[in-house]
Amino acid sequence: MKPNIAKRARVLVAEDQALAKSHMKYALDELGFEHVDYVVKPTQALNALSQQHYDAVICAYDLREDHGGYCLFETLKAQHLVPLTTGFIFTSADTSPEAVHAIVELQPDEFLAKPFSVNQLEKRLSKVIARKMVLNPIYQYMDEGNLEGALMAVEAFILEPKYAEYFPLALKVKGDLLLLSKRYDEAKSFFQGIINVQEFAWAKYGLCKSLVNLKEFEDAERAILSLALNLESNLASYDLLAELKIREEAFDDALECINIAREVSPRNVKRHQTAMELSRITHDYQEQFDSARKIVRYAKQSIHECAEHYLTAARAGVDFAMTSSPSEVSHIVQQTNDYLRELKTAYPKEDVAQQVHVINARICYLQNDSEKAKTMMESLDFRHWEDKPTEALIDSAKAFHEVGLQGNALKILEVLEQKLSDSDEPNLVSFYIKQEKREKASIPLSPKSLNNAAVLHYQQGDLAKSFNTFLQAYQVMPKNPAIALNLLQAITMRAKQGQPRINKVVSLVKRCRTTIESSELTEEQTQRYNNMKTVLNQVA
């Protein structure tokens, strides 16, 4: 460690394990650091960083309070208490893939696995502090939000031969600034030029990001798939591929990419939120509920925790129950009510009474008390309803539609559609609202009622009506194997009776079979499916 760096630098250490703290103190004393503050709690670290600038923070990932170092670093970044001029180093005894991916996603400057030697600490710490000091003018511009000033400072920096060892880092910063400035054409050329000289992973990622934003989707997908082969960047690759698929409106593919990334790094709340929004667009109600529950789980005691997450989980539970078999409804409703109870306990003063009222109305409908549900919805005071939260209005539209007040539902969705139509960026909520409006305008029945009506038509021998109603049910419940089976049954019966061939029947049969064959069937469902395969092959 250069003596001038150690003497000048101010360091904050967040460590609550006595032995580890003692080892750290010994190491920093040996390296000549004179300005070191020690804290044992995340709250103490927050207070220290709000009052004093530090050149480096050394933080234990496994702090035992407030969800540990992970949530502390998230909070510090959200509150801008760790400027780019401050280096952040995580230490952790947990080197499991899940922990390492979680740490890497937060993008600290360095990571040290415990136990570590004095030499290992010196190497990492001196490198971090040195580059923070050398690039300080550039980082100051970035902390101030002055991207143009930062770009000019980078250009001047890379003309100085004395800084040659820092040129790769400076070039990466330049690439980041071009992306932040949305200068995608310039960024594309810049990253391609870097790759032609040396294939840095960050340059490949920057090129992919530029291509996605330039809507050069074919080239972007090829570049992203190539990037995904690198284990260090495959997580970012799946996120980018999901972003690309969202722009292409290939939502099933986007959800698949997000799910792979979630499996690798499950603590990312934003990714669970994206999965929840994608799953409701694709009508995967079980996935929607699972994602909403994960949001609640991983957001607890973090900067992400809020009352809205409990409401989202409860609403997703109702959506899932609405499309589930009668035997499953009671259990799902119980889970939904659990989230409402947790909401009341965690946020007793939160003004969510009307939103909970709507959820309870939908639960009444689920429990076959349609009249009570309708009365509850009619009793709502909807003055100034345009000002209510978007998700609350979407849920109200669903409730009105379910109890037969289709006009009210469409009016809400129309206003929401106009409200969110100004943005050019891909917006999953906006797309979902348009889809809901389209479906609720063309299908007056709720998912729960659709299948019941179709089965009744089928039992009465009205194949035309049963087919049309099963088709509508499959449109809003394409992941439901029971619905897919019923629709195939209607198709085979039409074929046996020599009725006219259905438009696009081959594609429809294929989609139904995919739903069935990717689901876990009961013994009765398996038998039904096997019995109709011969006719289905003739139809297709």
Residue 135 and residue 87: Cα distance in Å, rounded?
12
What pLDDT score was predicted for residue 498?
63
- On whether both 430 and 501 belong to a single domain, the answer is no
- On whether both 101 and 74 belong to a single domain, the answer is yes
Q: For all residues of the chain together, what is the average pLDDT? A: 91
Q: Is residue 185 part of a domain?
A: no
Question: Model confidence at 408, in pLDDT bands (50, 70, 90)?
Answer: very high
Q: Is residue 209 part of a domain?
A: no
Q: Is residue 414 part of a domain?
A: yes
For residue range 435-475, what is the model confidence (pLDDT) as tens digits?
A: 999 999 999 888 878 878 877 877 787 777 888 888 898 98
What pLDDT score was predicted for residue 470?
86
Number of structural domains (the chain) is 4
Residue 517 and residue 405: Cα distance in Å, rounded?
37
> Of 144, 174, 206, which residue sits at a domain end?
144
Residue 256 and residue 279: Cα distance in Å, rounded?
10
For residue range 11-44, what is the model confidence (pLDDT) as tens digits?
A: 999 999 999 999 999 999 999 999 999 999 999 9
Q: Is residue 229 part of a domain?
A: no
pLDDT average, residue stretch 272-290: 97
Residue 362 and residue 65: Cα distance in Å, rounded?
39
- On whether both 11 and 134 belong to a single domain, the answer is yes
Residue 29 and residue 102: Cα distance in Å, rounded?
30
Residue numbers of the domain that contains 125? 3-144
Residue 154 and residue 381: Cα distance in Å, rounded?
57
Which one, of 304, 289, 288, lies nearest residue 336 by Cα? 289
CA atoms within 13 A on the CB side of 388: 21
What pLDDT score was predicted for residue 424?
59
Sheet with 56-60: strands ordered across: 35-39, 10-14, 56-60, 87-92, 110-113
- On whether both 410 and 474 belong to a single domain, the answer is no
Residue matched to tokens 């294939």: 199
Report whether pLDDT(212) > 60. yes
What pLDDT score was predicted for residue 502?
62
Q: Is residue 191 part of a domain?
A: no
- On whether both 30 and 128 belong to a single domain, the answer is yes
pLDDT average, residue stretch 328-340: 96
Task: Dig out the tokens for 474 from the structure.
Answer: 């499959």
pLDDT average, residue stretch 195-219: 95
Which one, of 519, 514, 518, 513, lies nearest residue 533 by Cα? 513
Q: Is residue 120 part of a domain?
A: yes
Which residues, other chains included, contact 242 with Cβ-Cβ below 8 Å and sequence gap of 6+? 254, 255, 257, 258, 261, 274
- On whether both 122 and 45 belong to a single domain, the answer is yes
What pLDDT score was predicted for residue 1?
59
- On whether both 32 and 69 belong to a single domain, the answer is yes
Question: Model confidence at 2, in pLDDT bands (50, 70, 90)?
Answer: low
Q: Is residue 505 part of a domain?
A: yes
> Of 442, 465, 497, which residue sits at a domain end?
442
- On whether both 421 and 298 belong to a single domain, the answer is no
Task: Dig out the tokens for 73 from the structure.
Answer: 């670093």
For residue range 58-108, what is the model confidence (pLDDT) as tens digits?
A: 999 988 876 689 899 999 998 999 999 999 999 999 888 888 888 888 999
Which CATH number goes with the domain that contains 477? 1.25.40.10
- On whether both 9 and 39 belong to a single domain, the answer is yes
What pLDDT score was predicted for residue 387?
79
- On whether both 138 and 51 belong to a single domain, the answer is yes
- On whether both 417 and 491 belong to a single domain, the answer is no
The proportion of the chain whose per-residue pLDDT surpasses 70, expressed as a percent, equals 96
What pLDDT score was predicted for residue 422?
65
> Of 442, 462, 497, which residue sits at a domain end?
442
Which CATH number goes with the domain that contains 416? 1.25.40
What pLDDT score was predicted for residue 467?
83
- On whether both 434 and 473 belong to a single domain, the answer is no
Which one, of 304, 339, 465, 385, lies nearest residue 396 by Cα? 385
Q: Is residue 164 part of a domain?
A: no
What pLDDT score was predicted for residue 9?
92
What pLDDT score was predicted for residue 7?
85
For residue range 410-434, what is the model confidence (pLDDT) as tens digits?
A: 999 999 998 887 655 669 999 999 9
